Amino acid sequence: ARGVRIRGAGAPFGARGARWPTPWAVSLGEHRRYTRGRDTKGDRSRCVLGRMSCNAVQNPNELVAVVDRDNNVIEGATRARMRAENLTHRCSYVMVFNDKGEMLVQRRVDFKETYPHFYDPAPGGVVGYGETYEANALREIDEEMGVKGDIRLVHHFDFSFKDALSSVWGRLFSCTFNGPLALQESEVESAEWMDVESVKDLLKTGKVCPDSAFAVKKHFGVKF
């Protein structure tokens, strides 16, 4: 498929001698590189030094499900407004395993609106207004990685997470899939199957999307 790319050249995530990127760190030079030529004013752009989010909001007019503190949907808001005001919204998260017990970890493209170029062990997406968690999860893993077919989602738990960039009520799922993968070039830079212990190491020391990291750590019982 056009745009398919499964992990380019270089040391694997867990290879001996390979360095994990420093969590959260971003230099002033990197900050300027991300913001160069961008309009960082208004609600179409996010620029937070130290959190690596300096990119325009993708699909800014998309309606998303905004929820209250108890995860009840209270309104639909544009994605741009949700990001600008950091409104609490719903997100799906899916741990994808193969028959070997390995876990699929993707790396986000460097122009994502939140956590660009971070690793994600539980990819999913922002739930649309009127959409269910389950429908969103199946749609997102199909669009982003080509995970489709007889996919059976296992619901593990719901959780609340908030930081300077995002405020979510998430739902963690898992499923089994053995490929082939088809990566969406507008969302995913690369992806790799990793054993669970390597994923745990990545969670402790790597540059991982913090919301996904929170959910996966809870699932595996990794200390925060």
For the stretch 71-81, pLDDT in tens is: 999 999 999 99
User: What was the pLDDT predicted at 55?
Assistant: 77
pTM: 0.79
Q: Is the pLDDT of residue 33 over 60?
A: no
pLDDT band of residue 205 (cuts 50, 70, 90) is confident
Residue bearing the bigger pLDDT, 42 or 208? 208
Q: Decide which of 155 and 206 is more confident.
A: 155
| Residue 31 binned pLDDT confidence (cut-offs 50, 70, 90) | very low
> Is the Cβ–Cβ distance between 209 and 118 less than 8 Å?
yes
3 state SS of 89: strand
Contact 191, 7 (CB under 8 A): yes
Q: What is the pLDDT of residue 5?
A: 38
Whether residue 48 is predicted with pLDDT greater than 70 in this model: the reply is: no
- Average of per-residue pLDDT across 158-187: 96
pLDDT band for position 14 (50/70/90)? very low
Query: Which position has the higher pLDDT, 58 or 98?
Result: 98
pLDDT at 25 over 50: no
Spell out the alpha helix ranges (H) of the chain: 28-35, 79-85, 133-145, 196-205, 210-220
Q: Are 97 and 176 in contact (CB under 8 A)?
A: yes
Q: How confident is the model at residue 9 (pLDDT cuts 50, 70, 90)?
A: very low
User: Does the pLDDT at position 201 exceed 90?
Assistant: yes
Backbone torsions φ then ψ of 197, nearest 5 degrees: -65, -35
